[in-house]
């Protein structure tokens, strides 16, 4: 709850994670998105700002739908929070909106769903563009096989086989609402929505689906990995470069601003809508 005399402000944030050791503030001298954004907002507030986020992204992971909140006594317009932060931020972090929230709003604990997209560039030749914003896979991938395998992972399951060893979640049981695989020219997009995710869960799912798409394992292997509940059965964790936090959902009572579901270079593909 926001303390008496404080305003609770929510922000929409997007960032390219390549330069950062993840969202969370690190030891002194280690660059993080949280510390960089807090420093910029503190200049606007003329006092220290401490942020809470909807989802802590790992090193190299991007976001175009991150939601954060902070409490402050500073009285500023929403335009001042947005534009003031952006003036003080580096080119790879941007605040897209700001809104005064009720005291019971919490960016993390009031979120009811999170959505990620994993973007693969599938071609023999390494791309010169977007090289830290997509994952390059030189092997021909069959997106139909990947989509078929993805169906085994939809629903409520024990995702221990897709969980990093250092994961701190209390339970490995998560509900995946949708898991779609679509091709758009040279790009393949894995789109996944769930109430919450385990550490490295999306990257481990992407690794399994790419292995199946390359024909190295049968489609049913996705089910076998899931049912094993053993991480080592699922192969290598996919690179972070193509992973984006694209949307965080809240109950209608909070009336948060709506933006496109990114990343921005995918917004022209109508098949990805919804």
Q: Examine the pLDDT at 28 and tell me if it is beyond 80.
A: no
Q: What's the CA gap between 92 and 220, in Å, rounded? A: 40
pTM above 0.85, yes or no: yes
- How far apart, in Å, are the Cα atoms of 4 and each of 77, 102, 207? 19, 12, 48
The separation between the first and the last C-alpha atoms of the chain, rounded to the nearest angstrom, is 33
**pLDDT tens by residue, 109-136:** 999 999 999 999 999 999 999 989 999 9
58 is an active site residue: yes
From residue 66, alpha-carbon distances to 8, 69, 111 in Å are 17, 10, 11
Work out the average pLDDT over 23-41: 91
64 and 94 Cβ atoms separated by less than 8 Å: no
Binding residues: 116
pLDDT bracket for residue 4 (50, 70, 90): low
Identify the active-site residue in 39, 58, 92, 142: 58
Question: What band does 235 get if pLDDT is binned at 50, 70 and 90?
Answer: confident
For the cut 60, the answer to whether the pLDDT of residue 2 exceeds it is: no
Which one-letter DSSP state was computed for residue 17?
G
The pLDDT score that the predictor gives to residue 164 is: 85
Helix axes 78-87, 33-45, angle to 10 degrees: 120
Distance CA(118)–CA(241), nearest Å, equals: 9
For residue 267, is pLDDT > 70?
yes
Q: What is the pLDDT of residues 184-224, one digit of tens each?
A: 999 999 999 999 999 999 999 999 999 999 999 999 999 99
Q: H or E stretch including 221?
A: helix 221-228
Phi/psi of residue 29, each to 5°? 90, -5
- The pLDDT assigned to 167 comes to 77
Counting residues of the chain whose pLDDT is more than 90, the rounded percentage is 83
Q: What is the pLDDT of residues 156-169, one digit of tens each?
A: 999 999 998 777 78
Q: Name the one residue in this structure whose structure tokens are 């005291």.
A: 103
Mean pLDDT computed over 141-156: 98
Place of tokens 């996919």: 238
At 161 the pLDDT is 94
Instruction: Specify the residue for token string 């790419």.
Output: 210
Binding residues for substrate: 116
Helix (H), strand (E) at residue 36:
helix 33-45
């Amino acid at each position: 709850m926001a303390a008496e005399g404080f305003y609770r402000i929510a922000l929409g944030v997007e960032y390219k994670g390549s330069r950062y050791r993840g969202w969370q503030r690190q030891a002194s001298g280690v660059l993080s998105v949280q510390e960089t954004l807090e420093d910029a907002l503190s200049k606007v507030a003329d006092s220290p700002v401490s942020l809470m986020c909807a989802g802590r992204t790992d090193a190299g992971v991007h976001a175009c739908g991150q939601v954060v909140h902070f409490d402050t006594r500073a009285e500023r317009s929403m335009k001042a929070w947005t534009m003031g932060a952006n003036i003080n931020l580096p080119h790879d972090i941007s605040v897209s909106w700001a809104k005064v929230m009720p005291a019971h709003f919490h960016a993390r604990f009031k979120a009811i769903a999170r959505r990620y997209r994993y973007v693969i560039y599938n071609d023999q030749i390494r791309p010169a563009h977007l090289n830290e914003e997509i994952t390059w896979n030189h092997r021909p991938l069959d997106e139909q096989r990947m989509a078929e395998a993805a169906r085994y992972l939809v629903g409520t399951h024990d995702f221990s086989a897709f969980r990093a060893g250092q994961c701190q979640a209390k339970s490995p049981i998560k509900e995946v609402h949708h898991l779609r695989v679509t091709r758009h020219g040279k790009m393949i997009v894995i789109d996944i929505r769930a109430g919450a995710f385990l550490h490295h869960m999306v990257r481990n799912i992407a690794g399994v689906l790419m292995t199946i798409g390359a024909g190295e394992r049968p489609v049913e292997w996705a089910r076998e990995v899931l049912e094993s509940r053993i991480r080592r059965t699922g192969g290598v964790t996919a690179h972070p470069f193509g992973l984006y936090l694209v949307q965080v959902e809240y109950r209608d009572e909070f009336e948060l601003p709506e933006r496109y579901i990114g990343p921005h270079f995918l917004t022209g593909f109508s098949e990805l809508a919804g």
